[in-house]
């Protein structure tokens, strides 16, 4: 009976989270704010905080698994020096600056812990807002993405450093603990390397297996949860294991599809994570200490903005873009809750400091969508009014609108897709191909195309293929229902792209036009015309000596 009571409470909590999340979105907020409020309002009365935190820990693990899938050294390298070195500098300088400020009031361990908590920004809210505003490909958007990616990677060593500081001990004991942790992590990497680079690819490339969505979804869940369990068994953070697994899988061609397959499950557990975080909030404490919370919120905003602005200028960014990037990332993020909980459990921060960190983080996340939305106009105003001489060197922010990725994408690389690719290659155009079948992927690679492996009916797949801003997308998949879903996803992500779609049946053509296709190739009409041409040609060319099908030279009436 207890399990049904727990299920009823869970359904109630998720229902309230859904309603508050939907309300937050209508108010131009992130749904995450609604999840936090649901946890604050209902969490303490429904669940034991520690019990719900276990679900939240699974949510963090799945979140880091997804982050790991985003992290590939090739992708990071393409983002340039600002992502690689700028991200490292941002975390290091922010940590050191705030640790120095806090060291005047607290012990060095507490000061460093608070510096780590304030160093990271909200990946979930910033990226969602940038995507909604179609600003991922702006200069400040790309810079923010690179820094956020490095911040997410930095969470792992930051958690490890808090663990080491919490245990304390002599220099030798600390060195031994670091060595044991490093050895365990190395063993985990070796295990995952053999599994993800040799066993899993061969398994998925078996005929028909990758196309079976149920099996791949099940495998994705096993990989996500199994990696977290393996890390926990070795005495490591489950989130660390999930991140390492995702990072190694990111280099495989199956990464995009696995990311999409665990998406729904991740949504469930990430929602539980944020509701469990909401339980940490203490409204009465906030009302009693609101001036201190507001003060530190302003200090964090100004401090992080100036630090990231300075780093951007050092890396030769326009002052306007650099300041816009700083404002975009001037909040504290979801992983700050993880770091704060780790610091509190290790005795590095007391309850007052923990409540302060949680309150500032929640409030800054509330303002995060507005920071992203008004970053560019605020940066333009600030540079123009406060530093006129710098304005001369600023590049107009509107220029990024013309910096579309462009290019041609072929969704489905069967016989029809290959004919399109050959025609484009003859014109000197190298298209991208999005394909689910590994055999077709090999064919595309042999033709020298840029290939993205995955099911294009999932919005995540085409988003990670970089379809935003594409000039033309050719949808060649024969399934009418899949073609409609793909067309809808393309227009949701890239409304400016022209979509030419294959219509298998005449009855579906009109609906494809209504869904926004620039052109729908009616397969039944095309086949009918070709059949008619072939029949007529056959009858005209028929040899009377070999066939009875010969056209009469005279027209017969009646």
Determine the Cα–Cα distance for residues 94 and 309; give it in Å rounded to an integer.
Answer: 12
Ranked by mean pLDDT, which of 184-198, 284-298, 463-477, 493-507 comes out on top?
284-298
By residue count, the chain amounts to: 558
Residue 555 in any domain: the answer is: no
Number of Cβ within a 10 Å radius of residue 209: 13
**Percent of all residues in the chain with a pLDDT value above 90, rounded to a whole number:** 8
424 and 379 in a common domain: no
What pLDDT does 554 receive?
54
243 and 146 in a common domain: yes
* Span 171-193, average pLDDT: 72
Express each pLDDT in 30-40 by its tens digit: 777 888 888 88
CA neighbor of 305 nearest in space, from 328, 321, 335, 332: 328
Determine the Cα–Cα distance for residues 332 and 325; give it in Å rounded to an integer.
Answer: 14
Residue 208 in any domain: the answer is: yes
Residue 549 in any domain: the answer is: no
175 and 86 in a common domain: yes
* Span 271-278, average pLDDT: 75
DSSP string, 61-130: HHHHHHHHHH--HHHHHHT-HIIIIIHHHHHHHHHHHHHHHHTTTS-HHHHHHHHHHHH---HHHHHHHH
What range does the domain containing 311 cover?
A: 2-385
CATH code of the domain containing 111? 1.20.1530.20
Residue 557 in any domain: the answer is: no
Beta-carbon contacts of residue 274 (< 8 Å; ≥ 6 apart): 17, 32, 35, 36, 39, 56, 59, 334
Asked if the model's pLDDT at residue 355 lies above 80, the reply is yes
Asked if the model's pLDDT at residue 302 lies above 90, the reply is yes
Model pTM?
0.61
Express each pLDDT in 116-169 by its tens digit: 999 998 877 787 677 666 566 567 777 887 888 778 778 778 887 887 777 665
380 and 413 in a common domain: no
436 and 372 in a common domain: no
What pLDDT does 396 receive?
44
Question: How many domains does one find in the chain?
Answer: 2
Asked if the model's pLDDT at residue 431 lies above 80, the reply is yes
What pLDDT does 558 receive?
44
- Six token digits for residue 328: 């975009």
381 and 419 in a common domain: no
What pLDDT does 77 receive?
62
Residue 295 in any domain: the answer is: yes
116 and 47 in a common domain: yes
Place of tokens 């195309």: 449
Residue 48 in any domain: the answer is: yes
Looking at every residue in the chain, the average pLDDT score rounds to 78
Kindly indicate the confidence band of residue 81, based on its pLDDT and cuts at 50, 70 and 90.
low
417 and 357 in a common domain: no
CB 42 within 8 A of CB 25: no
355 and 428 in a common domain: no
What pLDDT does 78 receive?
60
Ranked by mean pLDDT, which of 51-55, 175-179, 270-274 comes out on top?
270-274
What pLDDT does 296 receive?
92
319 and 171 in a common domain: yes
Long-range contacts of 154-158 (CB under 8 A, 24+ apart): 154/87, 154/88, 154/91, 154/119, 154/120, 155/64, 155/120, 155/239, 155/243, 155/335, 155/338, 155/339, 156/64, 156/237, 156/239, 156/240, 156/243, 158/116, 158/119, 158/120, 158/339
What pLDDT does 401 receive?
33
73 and 193 in a common domain: yes
CATH code of the domain containing 519? 3.40.50.720
Residue 468 in any domain: the answer is: yes
Residue 503: CA count within 13 A, CB half-sphere: 22
């Amino acid at each position: 009976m207890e399990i049904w009571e727990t299920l009823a409470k869970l359904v109630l909590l998720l229902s309230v989270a859904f309603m508050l999340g939907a309300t937050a979105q209508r108010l131009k907020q992130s749904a995450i704010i609604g999840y936090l409020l649901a946890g604050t309002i209902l969490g303490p009365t429904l669940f034991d905080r520690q019990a719900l935190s276990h679900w939240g820990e699974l949510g963090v693990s799945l979140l880091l698994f997804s982050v790991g899938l985003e992290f590939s050294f090739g992708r990071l390298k393409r983002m340039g020096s600002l992502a690689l070195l700028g991200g490292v500098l941002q975390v290091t300088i922010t940590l050191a600056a705030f640790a120095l400020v806090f060291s005047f009031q607290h012990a060095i361990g507490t000061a460093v812990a608070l510096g780590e908590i304030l160093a990271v920004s909200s990946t979930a809210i910033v990226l969602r807002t940038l995507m909604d505003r179609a600003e991922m490909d702006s200069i400040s958007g790309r810079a923010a993405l690179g820094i956020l990616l490095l911040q997410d990677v930095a969470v792992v060593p930051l958690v490890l450093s808090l663990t080491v500081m919490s245990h304390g001990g002599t220099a030798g004991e600390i060195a031994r603990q670091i060595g044991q942790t490093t050895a365990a992590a190395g063993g985990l990497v070796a295990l995952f390397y053999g599994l993800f680079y040799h066993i899993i690819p061969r398994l998925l490339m078996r005929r028909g297996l990758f196309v079976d969505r149920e099996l791949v979804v099940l495998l994705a869940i096993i990989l996500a949860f199994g990696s977290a369990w393996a890390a926990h068994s070795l005495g490591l953070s489950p989130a660390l294991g999930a991140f390492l697994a995702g990072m190694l899988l990111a280099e495989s061609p199956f990464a995009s599809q696995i990311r999409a397959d665990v998406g729904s499950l991740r949504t469930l557990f990430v929602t539980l994570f944020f509701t469990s975080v909401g339980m940490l909030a203490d409204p009465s404490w906030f009302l009693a200490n609101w001036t201190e919370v507001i003060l530190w919120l302003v200090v964090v905003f100004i401090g992080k903005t100036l630090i990231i602005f300075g780093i951007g200028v050092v890396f030769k960014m326009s002052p306007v873009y650099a300041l816009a990037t700083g404002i975009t990332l001037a909040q504290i993020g979801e992983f700050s809750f993880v770091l704060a909980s780790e610091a509190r459990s290790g005795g590095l921060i007391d309850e007052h400091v923990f409540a302060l960190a949680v309150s500032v983080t929640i409030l800054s996340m509330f303002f995060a969508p507005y920071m992203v939305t008004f970053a560019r106009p605020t940066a333009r105003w600030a540079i123009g009014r406060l530093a006129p001489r710098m304005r001369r060197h600023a590049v107009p922010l509107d220029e990024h609108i013309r910096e579309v990725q462009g290019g041609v994408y072929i969704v489905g690389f069967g016989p029809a897709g290959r004919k399109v690719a050959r025609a484009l290659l003859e014109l000197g155009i190298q298209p991208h191909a999005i394909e689910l079948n590994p055999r077709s992927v090999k064919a595309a690679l042999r033709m020298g195309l840029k290939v993205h492996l995955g099911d294009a009916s999932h919005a995540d797949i085409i988003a990670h293929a970089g379809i935003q801003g594409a000039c033309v997308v050719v949808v060649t998949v024969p399934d009418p229902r899949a073609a409609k879903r793909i067309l809808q996803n393309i227009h949701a992500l890239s409304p400016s792209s022209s979509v030419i779609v294959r219509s298998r049946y005449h009855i579906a053509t009109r609906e494809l036009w209504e869904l926004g296709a620039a052109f729908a190739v009616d397969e039944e009409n095309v086949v009918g015309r070709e059949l008619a041409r072939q029949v007529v040609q056959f009858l005209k060319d028929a040899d009377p000596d070999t066939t009875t099908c010969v056209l009469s030279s005279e027209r017969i009436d009646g």
